Amino acid sequence: MISSPVVYLILHGSIIILIGLLVGLPLRSSILRKAEAKVNAWRVAHSVLIMDGLLMVLVGMLLPRLSLDQVMIGASVWSSVASGYGFAV
């Protein structure tokens, strides 16, 4: 059975990846309008959100193999989720 911290981390990582993919839509329109400063900002947001979401999914998959107590697992899961959504906002 999969533990709930693993499910939370993979779920929220997938949501962050989806947000990162949706941020790619304004990136495309900025490229078409040739707005250089906005292109760079949207590109950074797009790539960092996808990388952060992938890192959350990867840590979620590796979490059962790590020998951590419940406090450390909870701290790592919720700090990852908070940082992911913090950057998305």
State the pLDDT at residue 2: 64
What is the mean pLDDT of the segment spanning 78-82? 93
User: Average pLDDT over the chain, rounded to whole?
Assistant: 89
What is the mean pLDDT of the segment spanning 7-12? 93
CB atoms within 10 A of CB 83: 14
Q: What is the pTM of this model?
A: 0.87
Position 20 pLDDT exceeds 90: yes
Position 40 pLDDT exceeds 90: no
Task: Identify the residue with better confidence: 31 or 11.
Answer: 11
State the pLDDT at residue 3: 76
